Structure 1
Amino acid sequence: MLANFAIKTVINGIALWVAAWAVPGITFGRDMPASSVFLTVLVVAVIFGVVNSLVRPLLTVLTLPFIILTLGLFVFVVNALMLQLTSWLADKFDLAFHVEHFFWDAVLGALIITFVSMLLGFLKPEK
């Protein structure tokens, strides 16, 4: 179980890093040494995993009519909200992770994170 959590955290970290690399409005601290950026990515990945496991199911149930009405596309808005919440929590913990704008940066970042996580999830061993 701990190994599965570690693998998911690494996958989240890679997906967050790719989103920060691809979207100019998502940043992991500017002018920081590589070791600090790595540690920030790791801690933000843990926060992102906790937010996705605790808040996302509740928000998905609450927005289910919108998800059904939009044929599932509203899930990307829910994912963007989780990314924005992670940015807010990272700010509370004084971590150098920030998402600038909700619509363009968070939604595009959520799309990238979903795609990268899906691709890396295929490589994850089953047991």
Structure 2
Amino acid sequence: MSSLFFRFVANAVALAVAVWVVDGITLGDGDADTGARAVTLCVVALIFGAVNVVVKPIVSFFSLPLLILTLGLFTLVINAAMLGLTAALSGDAFNVDGFGAAFWGGLIISIVSWAVNLVLDRD
């Protein structure tokens, strides 16, 4: 159970960093207070986690030839697609403007969530 919580925290932190760094990624209403933005970030992190658990393995399986051909670099495209799907499922709570923003956001989210999981998960 704690591993699931650590993944949720890692996703939330990684999404927050992506919103902060990438210009084309926005979180909710810009006029909302900090508490409302934190709740929105938690909801988006839950949606992002669910997309990564349910959809990403299926997409990765069907794109296995491309993953092998590109030596795994196609994973960056898959991560961008998962971020775009999260934005589509989130409605107005989370917006990604184009593939470029999704690509860089997916790269940043991958790196930050790896680092946070490395620090938090001490099992």
Gaps of 5+ in 1: none
Where does residue 7 of structure 2 map in the other structure? 8
Mean Cα deviation higher: 54-63 or 28-37:
28-37
Identity of aligned residues (%): 43
Aligned residue runs from structure 1 range 19-34, under 5 A? 19-29=18-28, 30-34=30-34
Where does residue 67 of structure 1 map in the other structure? 67
Where does residue 96 of structure 1 map in the other structure? 93
Name the TM-score, length of structure 1 as normaliser. 0.92
| TM-superposition CA deviations, 1:30-76 (whole Å, max 9, x none) | 11110010000001001000100000000000001111111110000
Letter in 2 for 1:118: W
- Tell me the CA shift for residue 119 of structure 1: 0.7
Select 1:122's aligned residue among 107, 114, 118: 118
Runs of 4+ in 1 over 3 A off after TM superposition: none
Alignment root-mean-square deviation, CA:
1.0
- Tell me the CA shift for residue 125 of structure 1: 2.8
Letter in 1 for 2:77: V
Aligned residue runs from structure 1 range 73-92, under 5 A? 73-91=73-91
Select 1:111's aligned residue among 107, 110, 117: 107
Name the TM-score, length of structure 2 as normaliser. 0.95
CA distance in 1, matches of 2:81, 2:36: 26
Higher relative contact order (CA 8 A, sep 6+): 2
> What SS does the aligned partner of 1:58 have?
helix
Gaps of 5+ in 2: none
Q: For this pair of structures, how many residues does the alignment match? A: 122
CA contact (8 A) 2:44 2:93 kept: no
> What SS does the aligned partner of 2:50 have?
helix
| TM-superposition CA deviations, 1:94-117 (whole Å, max 9, x none) | x52100112x10000000000001
CA contact (8 A) 2:3 2:121 kept: no
CA contact (8 A) 2:80 2:103 kept: yes
